[in-house]
Structure 1
Amino acid sequence: MFRLEAEVDRNRRDLLRSRLRESDAAASPVLRSLLGTPGGRETPLHVWALDEAGALAGGLVGHTWTTWLHVAHLWVDARHRGRGLGSGLLTEAERVAGEERGCRRARLETWDFQAPRFYRRHGYEVVCVIEDYPPGITEYTLTKRLA
């Protein structure tokens, strides 16, 4: 019997995630050794930029896991674009990930109309291209070796 749910059931989601990690750890000695360490847990990494009035000017939301930084979202308000704010947010996240959390690599996904050129200018390389995801748009996965 199957049951389809559109709403998030956090307890069931967490149970599923836990069971998947157990299965993965059983199948992979590398994951088995990592999952029991502090670096084996996803740790949020958020960087915020506020304007003079204290309003949100931009931000980066991501997490670190093992030796990787994963940038999930990077956004700068239109009034603050072109002034280096996005570069500053990305640079600070990479610094914290590398210097404070021991990350050696970073990864992110972006669409063709968003910022692939921005990330390339910051040393990221395209490792995956998915065309028509969603229809009419190309998604890129990029990675970077951190200093």
Structure 2
Amino acid sequence: MVGRMFRIETGVDKERLRLLRGRLRDANRDASAALRALQGTPEEREEPLGVWALDDRGELVGGLSGYTWGRWLHVSLLWVAEDCRGAGLGGRLLAEAERFCVAERGCLNSRLETWDFQAPAFYRQQGYEVVAVIPDYPEGHKEFTLTKRLG
């Protein structure tokens, strides 16, 4: 490595991104028995998830989007229309996602991120625990990472 020259570039490059992901995945597998054990199993692949709440006209009034990987549910988005809040719909969406992921995908845990102006108290009420707090993300706010043991 001594004397080797490097060129640094900035830009979006799909082929380099594919190579980067593959090389990092391989390095991670080499370093982790748990990741090696996932190799070739259904849990190795990210599987998308959607849970939707529709009103009697078929309009979207709430939804949850996420994915499963490594026997974890990752909740990316959870939203309930303002006029439907306070009726337990968010909890029902989250509970259905958790139920489905345990029963159909073998998930053992769930994780999500939320900001202080969103819903950390709601998630705590649903059994989630704060495992990390990032201050000033975005500036002037906090981001919380929460997890829950399922089943």
TM norm. shorter chain > 0.5: yes
Segments of 5+ residues of structure 1 without an aligned counterpart are none
Larger radius of gyration: 2
The code of the aligned residue for 1:128 comes to: A
Alignment-mate amino acid for residue 8 of structure 2: F
Per the alignment, residue 61 of structure 1 pairs with 65
Is it true that 1:119 corresponds to 2:91 in the alignment?
no
Q: Distance in 1 between matches of 2:71 and 2:52?
A: 23
Structure 2: runs of 5+ lacking an equivalent: 1-6
Cα distance change on mapping 1:11 and 1:60 into 2, 3 Å? farther
**Following the alignment from structure 1 to structure 2, what is the Cα–Cα distance between the partners of residues 76 and 17?**
34
Q: Alignment length, in residue pairs?
A: 145
For residue 97 of structure 2, what is the aligned residue in structure 1?
93
Q: Does 1:72 align with 2:76?
A: yes
Task: Note the C-alpha offset of 1:9.
Answer: 4.3
Shift of the alpha carbon at 1:13? 2.7
Q: TM-score, normalised by structure 2?
A: 0.89
Q: Is the 8 A contact 1:35 1:41 kept in 2?
A: no
The residue type equivalent to 2:148 in the other structure is K
Q: Name the CA distance, whole Å, in 2 between partners of 1:55 and 1:11.
A: 39
Identity over aligned pairs, percent? 60
Aligned match of 2:134: 130
Please give the root-mean-square deviation of Cα atoms over the aligned residues, in Å: 1.4
Query: Structure 1 15/77 Cα, relative in aligned 2: closer, same or farther at 3 Å?
Result: farther
Aligned-residue offset at 1:131? 1.0
Relative to structure 1, is the Cα distance of residues 23 and 121 closer, same or farther in structure 2, using a 3 angstrom cutoff?
same
Give the letter aligned to residue 77 of structure 2.
H
Conservation of the 8 A alpha-carbon contact between 1:46 and 1:60: yes
C-alpha distance after superposition, 1:61-97 (max 9, x if no partner): 1111112111011011112211111111100000011
The aligned counterpart of 2:4 is none
CA contact (8 A) 1:63 1:69 kept: yes
1:4 equivalenced with 2:41 (yes/no): no
